[in-house]
A and B are shown apart, each in its own frame.
Chain A
Amino acid sequence: MESGEMKLVTLHVNGRPFRRAIVPSTTLLEFLRDEIDLTGTKRGCDMGECGVCTVMLDGKPVLSCLLLAAEAEGAEVTTVEGIARGNELHPVQEALVAHGAIQCGFCTPAMVVNAVHLLERRPAPTREEVKECISGTICRCTGYTKIEKAILAAAGGDSGEGGKEA
């Protein structure tokens, strides 16, 4: 097959349409980072194993490195750039900062997306639900505990001080 064949797609990202000509093998991750310069979503393993490329597709967390951009046509994509309201951070983002749950920060955009989705569904999650929600995203720095505490605190269920270590 001729390698140069392009496809015109329109993707809705963070409430805005983006129309681009892409090669059909372009992943959503490549579309976000390389076509429309939304580099908040990270490229880690690019093979589905680390979860740092997580975005929401129609409100559900998915791995953008495993999804073809063309498959996202007709759906609403939400990236970490679409979470804050202007300069006002989402409570999850505030809590991650406040709890020292960000070290190198590479997993953070994915953790934010995971947590925002969880709190939309379960405003007062249990620690087990928080663990489950971040279980598909690897953090090589924090040891996860601070991330769990931050998400629980964002939900108002934990001061971040007294939470029991699991």
Chain B
Amino acid sequence: MRMPPFRFERPAELRQALDLLRELDGAGNGYVLSAGGTDLVPMMKSQPVSVGSLISLTKLKALGGIRLDPGKSLSLGALVTLGDLSSDAAVRETFPCIAETAGKIATPQIRNRATVGGNLLVDNRCIYFNQSEQNRLAHTPCFKAGGETCHLVPKTARGDDPLCRARFVSDLAPVLLLLHATIRIASTAGERSLPLRDFHLPDGISRNRLGRGEILTRIDVPLPGPSAGVLYEKLRIRNAIDFPSLGVAVSLGRIPGGGTRFGAALTGVHTRPVVMQVDEAARGSREESVDSLIAGISRAVTPFRQGFFPPDYLRKMIPVLIRRNMEKLLRKA
């Protein structure tokens, strides 16, 4: 399967890469960024149009490495592979849930190339969009493919927000959200930093706030995390290869003034990751807190039929997975 032609650039320094992006943007030339390429390459193979230039980020040292600043933060370079993330001693020690979740993504071979930055930026999925060319030719192109219709929600019209309900599928996002991660983004204008929870957008086409000319450089996770930690469970047919049909992360921690904080975050069942926290102090009993967490987060998502599991089943599994994993954390706490 041939990809449409492109120019290949692999800058050696971040500065060089950012200048190159600005130049291309200034000249009105298209480009795509590639880290592990495990999301991008399949996408480009099913795409008929040229992207202009493909800029490989793989040589950028500033985007590499796992740095532990004890008592302060764990800083993950955007280029750290999921394989390294799952086996790194510092990650396993500080945030075992990050390592375990990374180890549940895709396959061992993919994890040796796929990066943590690419995982937060992975494209949203939809059965009408992520299809062979042959299958896609059988439908008129949908909004995400540059057309004027949506096959999943046919009443959608241009101007609607969201325009596209393709689902967010990153496994690491819910875990990093409950850990209050912040991300660093570089451009020729300098570096900005924002909480991960403000990054993703509720539309399957615009997806996130990464702008033209910007490169995600690092993900910082503050220490210590929630006292009893975070757990992630992934619902899928096969225990390898498959994207999450539903991914549930839960957290349990103490509130500074006393009391317990229950958190949950979901992936796979909405256009963006959804995160919610409930404080026991404000809610009375533990059961009521968890119930209100489940009710709140369930209201915030809209699963569609996107494969084997019907949406009703996915909805029923949200409380099951939240309770099951919360109980594990409570037993540990």
B42 in contact (CB, < 8 A): yes
* Chain B, 43-81, CB within 8 A of any chain A CB: 44-46, 50, 52, 54, 56, 58
Please count how many residues in chain B sit with their CB below 8 Å of the partner chain's CB atoms: 33
A125 in contact (CB, < 8 A): no
Contact assessment for B37 and A68 in the assembled complex, using a CB-CB cutoff below 8 Å: yes
A1 in contact (CB, < 8 A): yes
B241 in contact (CB, < 8 A): yes
* Chain A, 40-87, CB within 8 A of any chain B CB: 46-49, 51, 54, 57, 60-63, 65-68, 70-71
Report the nearest A residue to B81, measured CB to CB. A60
Residues in A neighbouring B4, C-beta threshold 8 A: 25
Contact assessment for B110 and A66 in the assembled complex, using a CB-CB cutoff below 8 Å: yes
**A70 CA / B6 CA spacing, docked (Å):** 12
B316 in contact (CB, < 8 A): no
Q: Contacts A61-B112, A66-B41, A135-B239 known; A46 to B8 CB distance under 8 Å? A: no
**A137 CA / B38 CA spacing, docked (Å):** 16
Give the secondary structure class of B's interface.
Answer: loop
Q: Contacts A1-B52, A133-B108, A136-B108 known; A62 to B113 CB distance under 8 Å? A: yes
Contact assessment for B109 and A47 in the assembled complex, using a CB-CB cutoff below 8 Å: no
Contact assessment for A24 and B6 in the assembled complex, using a CB-CB cutoff below 8 Å: yes
Contact assessment for B108 and A135 in the assembled complex, using a CB-CB cutoff below 8 Å: yes
Report the nearest B residue to A30, measured CB to CB. B2
Contact assessment for A24 and B54 in the assembled complex, using a CB-CB cutoff below 8 Å: yes
Q: Which of A23, A49, A57, A67 is B5 in contact with, Cβ under 8 Å?
A: A23
Tell me how far the C-beta of A87 lies from the nearest C-beta in chain B, rounded to whole angstroms.
Answer: 28
Q: Which of B5, B8, B110 is A136 in contact with, Cβ under 8 Å?
A: B110
**A2 CA / B4 CA spacing, docked (Å):** 11
Residues in A neighbouring B1, C-beta threshold 8 A: 46-47
Range class of the A interface residue count: 20 to 34
**A66 CA / B118 CA spacing, docked (Å):** 14
Chain A window 3-32, contacts with chain B (Cβ cutoff 8 Å), 1 for yes, 0 for no: 101010000000000000001110100000
Chain B window 1-14, contacts with chain A (Cβ cutoff 8 Å), 1 for yes, 0 for no: 11111111010000
Contact assessment for A68 and B41 in the assembled complex, using a CB-CB cutoff below 8 Å: yes
Contact assessment for B5 and A25 in the assembled complex, using a CB-CB cutoff below 8 Å: yes
**A70 CA / B46 CA spacing, docked (Å):** 20
Contact assessment for B37 and A71 in the assembled complex, using a CB-CB cutoff below 8 Å: yes
Known: A57-B113, A114-B108. 5 other contacts (CB 8 A): A24-B8, A27-B3, A46-B45, A47-B45, A137-B109
What would be 10 A-B contacts, judged by CB atoms less than 8 Å apart? A3-B5, A5-B7, A25-B6, A47-B45, A47-B46, A54-B109, A66-B37, A68-B8, A68-B37, A135-B107
B interface residues (Cβ-Cβ under 8 A, vs A): 1-8, 10, 34, 37-38, 41-42, 44-46, 50, 52, 54, 56, 58, 83, 106-110, 112-113, 239-241
Ranked 9 nearest A-B pairs via Cβ: A136-B107, A24-B8, A135-B240, A25-B3, A3-B5, A60-B112, A46-B1, A61-B109, A66-B41
